Structure 1
C-alpha cells in the first residue's frame, strides 16, 4: 500500500496535518474557519486543498473528494470540563465535536482521529460526550480506543498531555497499537532553545540553558477575545519563571551579547520567549511560516498539536491499515 489519504478539520496552523503528512497521509481537504490559519496553511503547503469554512457549515456533498478517504482527523478546540474551568462546556467546543462525528458518519473513513484535552478521555463531566460519540459511530462498525499521551514522550520539549480518540472500522480495530514513546529521555527547554538563545552572542546562554533543565509547561494559545500573548495563568507563569522565562509577554528578539532584549521594558532579569522559540517548543520545523502579527502567530502555535505527536499517531494508524 502506498500513501494514504486524509481530511483534516479544525486544522489551525497545521501541526496535526504536518505530522500526518510525515507519517504517509496526504490530505485531500483541510478546513478551518480562521482566515489567518488558512493563510498559514497555504503559505507552507500551496498544494494542499485548504478551505476557509466553519465546520458547522461544511457540506461534504459539495466535495466529492471527501468520500472514500482513509482518515478523518480533527484537532478540535479544547473541550473544557469542571476539572479545568469549574464548569462543564456545553457550547461551541462540544458542537464542533458532534459535527466531527456527524462528518465521520457521513463519509465513513476507515479511521477517525480526534485530539483534544485529556479530560475528554475519562472525566465524569464529559461522559455524555463520549457516549454520544460511541453511540453514533458504534452501529456503523467502528471500534474505539481512548487514551492520553504526553508530547514530551515524543521528543517535544514540553509537558503537553493530549487526549486522543482513535475509532477504526472493526476489521482494523484490533490491529491498532497506541504509539510508544519515541525518546528515552525528555528534551529540556535549555537543550531546545540554546541555539536561539546564543544566536546573538549572549555570554550567559550556556548557563541559562543549564538551569532550564526540564520540559516546558504546556504552551497555551489563549483566547482571541482578550489582550496580547502571554504564557498562561499565574501558576503557569511561576513554572516558567523557575526555568528563567518571563511568561508575561513575548519578546521581538533573543538576548544580545549582554543578555538585553531591546523590546523588553519590564526590568525583569528573566528572559522572554520569541514567537519563533515558542514554535521550537512545539517542535515545528524552522521553515514553517506562521501568518499574521506577533500575537496571532503565537496563538496559532499555542493552539496547535505538535507535529511529532501527529506523526506518531499517523504511523500507528497507517500500520493498522497496512497489516
Structure 2
C-alpha cells in the first residue's frame, strides 16, 4: 500500500487534517460549510482541494476522487444530549453526524475516524445514536471501537477529553491499537506560553510562567450566534484565573516591558492571552495561520482537534491499514 489518502469533513481550521497529514495521510478533499474555515485551509495549504459546502448537501459522486480512499475523517460539531433524544433545537449537530455515517455508503473507505464529545462514547443519553451507528457499520462490514483520549497525554497543554470512534473493515480491524500517550509529563500553560509572554519584553514573564504550572482547561469555541470571544464558561474562566489570566476576553498583544503584574486576585487586573496564544494551547504549529477577525479566529481554534491528537490517531490507523493482515 503506497500513500494513504483521506477525505475530511467538517474540517474547520484543519487541526485534524493537519495531524493526519503529519502521520502520512494525503487529503483528496476537505469539506466545511464556513467560508472563514475554508479560507484558513487554503491560506495554509493552497494545493488542498477544499469544498465550501454543507455536508448534508454534499454529493460525493460529483467528486470521484473521494470514492476510493483509505480514510474518512470527521471532527464533528458536538452532539448535545437533547439532539440524541430527537429534540429539534439540536438537530443540526445530529444531522451532521448522521450525514457522515451515510457518507460511508458512497465513499466506502477502509477506515472511519470520528471525533466528538466524550459522552458520546458511553453515556446512556447517546445510546440511540450509538445504536444507529452500530447498525450502519455492521451493514457495511466494519468493526469499530469507541474510546476517550485526553489531548494532554499527547503533549497538548490542555485538559481536553475527546470521544473517538475508529472503524475499520474486517481485514484490518484486528491490527488497530488505540493510541498510547506520547508524553509522561503534561506540558503546562507556563511552559507553552513562556516564550510568547516574554516576546515584547515583559520582565515578569518568567515569574508568571513559573506559577502557571497546570495544563489549560478545555478551550471552548462557542456558538456562532453568541457574542465575542472568551475562553469559555465560568468554571473555565476560574481555572484560568488560578493561573493569573483574565479569561473574559482576548488581548490584542502580550504584555510589554512597562506592564506591572499586580499579582492580584481581581480578575480585572490580570493579563489576557491573545488568540495566537490560544492556538498554541491548541497545539497548532506556529506557521499555521488562522484567518479572520479576532472572534472568528478564536472560534476556529476552539472548535479544532489538536493536531498532535490527529497525528496519534492517524499513525494508529495507518499502522493497521499497512499491517500484514490486510486482505
Q: TM-score, structure 2 length as denominator?
A: 0.94
SS in 2 for 1:268: helix
- 8 Å contact from structure 2 (residues 246, 267) kept in 1: no
1:211 equivalenced with 2:198 (yes/no): no
2:120: which partner in 1?
120
Counterpart position of 1:163: 163
Q: Paired residue for 2:322?
A: 322
CA contact (8 A) 1:105 1:137 kept: no
The answer for the alignment partner of 1:312 in structure 2 is 312
Please state how far the C-alpha of 1:109 moved relative to its aligned partner. 0.2
Match of 1:134 in 2: 134
Q: How does 1:1-323 map to 2 (within 5 A)?
A: 1-81=1-81, 90-259=90-259, 268-323=268-323
| Unpaired segments ≥5 residues, structure 1 | none
CA displacement at 1:214 relative to structure 2: 0.6
Q: CA deviation at 1:137?
A: 1.6
CA distance 1:114–1:136, change in 2 (3 Å): same
The 3-state SS of whatever aligns with 1:279 is helix
> How far apart are residue 259 of structure 1 and its match?
2.4
Kept in 2, the 8 Å contact 1:88–1:125? The answer is: no
Give me the TM-score of the superposition, normalised by structure 1.
0.95
Q: Contact conserved, 2:148 with 2:162, CA < 8 A, in 1?
A: yes
SS in 2 for 1:271: coil
Distance 1:95 1:295 in 2: 26
Spell out, residue by residue over 1:254-303, the C-alpha distance to the aligned partner (whole angstroms, 9 max, x if none). Answer: 00113269xxxx98221101010000000101011111101100110000
Measure how far apart 1:2 and its partner are.
Answer: 2.8
CA distance in 2, matches of 1:32, 1:293: 18
CA contact (8 A) 1:81 1:123 kept: no
The C-alpha deviation readout for 1:182-230, integer Å capped at 9, x for no partner, is 0010000000000000111111111100110010000011111011000
Whole-angstrom distance in 2 between the partners of 1:55 and 1:221:
20
Q: Distance in 1 between matches of 2:267 and 2:125?
A: 43
Look up the SS of the partner of 1:278 in the other structure: helix
Q: 1:207 & 1:52 partners in 2: Cα distance?
A: 45
Deviation at 1:235, TM superposition (A): 1.4
Q: Is 2:115–2:162's contact at 8 Å kept on the other side of the alignment?
A: yes
What CA distance in whole angstroms lies between the structure 1 residues aligned with 2:179 and 2:133? 22
Task: After superposition, give the CA deviation of every residue in 1:1-42 in whole Å (9 maximum; x if it has no partner).
Answer: 332000000000000000000001100000000000000000
With over 3 angstroms needed to count, the CA separation of the structure-2 counterparts of 1:88 and 1:146, relative to structure 1, is: farther
CA RMSD, Structure 1 to Structure 2 (Å): 1.8
Distance 2:212 2:290 in 1: 26
Distance 1:58 1:92 in 2: 15
Q: Counterpart of 1:195 in 2: which secondary structure?
A: helix
User: What CA distance in whole angstroms lies between the structure 1 residues aligned with 2:281 and 2:147?
Assistant: 23
Contact 1:19–1:309 at 8 Å: present in 2 too?
yes
Q: Does the 8 A contact of 1:81 with 1:89 survive in 2? A: no
> What is the deviation of 1:88?
9.6
